[in-house]
């Protein structure tokens, strides 16, 4: 790792007193790994998708709705303006199109297609009832502002709700 670059690394989170208190609390209880669950310019699009999908699989850990809050953190500002605040986002995630992502038992990730500051990745989710669903994640790298350089999700679309067992991704 380039030492000069690593010294300039910064997470894309608010820097106010509440954020500082959260970081201190996470470090104090040995949960530094939780910092990965915030937007960061070091996270590529595949990492962002995986963090969101994994958070939704364990959506009620460590407390109810925690995974949904993680997924919302990685929503782009444009996405948040259409789906937020968090309470509204949670209602959307619990709707029939997205509910299978909550507590799903497996996920298969397709390749990430990147073009400039835009990326697309397909994910096949095996829901808790065994059904297979195909979702398309669309992300953009944010330019300027609080999340400068961070890959964030602009949309998640249910592409196919009735995949057969032999689907390749």
Write the pLDDT tens digit of every residue in 7-61. 334 445 445 555 555 555 444 444 444 446 799 999 999 999 999 999 999 988 8
Domain ranges (residues) in the chain: 39-160
Determine the Cα–Cα distance for residues 143 and 151; give it in Å rounded to an integer: 10
CATH architecture of 39-160: Roll (3.10)
Is residue 73 predicted with pLDDT exceeding 50?
Answer: yes
Query: H or E element: which one contains 157?
Result: strand 151-160
Residue 4 or 107, more confident? 107
Return d(Cα 18, Cα 149) in angstroms, integer. 23
* Gyration radius of the chain's alpha carbons: 16
In this prediction the pTM is 0.78
% of the chain with per-residue pLDDT over 90: 70
């Amino acid at each position: 790792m380039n030492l000069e670059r690593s010294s300039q690394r910064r997470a894309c989170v608010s820097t106010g007193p509440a954020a500082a208190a959260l970081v201190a609390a996470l470090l104090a209880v040995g949960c530094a790994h939780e910092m990965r669950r915030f937007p960061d310019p070091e996270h590529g699009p595949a990492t962002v998708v995986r963090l969101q999908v994994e958070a939704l699989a364990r959506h009620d850990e460590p407390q109810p709705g925690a995974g949904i809050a993680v997924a919302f953190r990685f929503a782009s500002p444009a996405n948040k303006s259409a789906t937020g605040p968090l309470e509204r986002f949670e209602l959307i995630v619990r709707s029939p199109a997205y509910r299978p992502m909550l507590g799903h038992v497996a996920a298969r990730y397709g390749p990430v297609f990147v073009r400039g500051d835009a990326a697309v990745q397909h994910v096949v989710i095996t829901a808790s009832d065994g059904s297979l669903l195909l979702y398309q994640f669309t992300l953009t790298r944010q330019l300027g502002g609080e999340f400068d350089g961070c890959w964030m999700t602009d949309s998640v679309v249910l592409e196919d709700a009735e995949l057969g067992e032999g689907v390749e991704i």
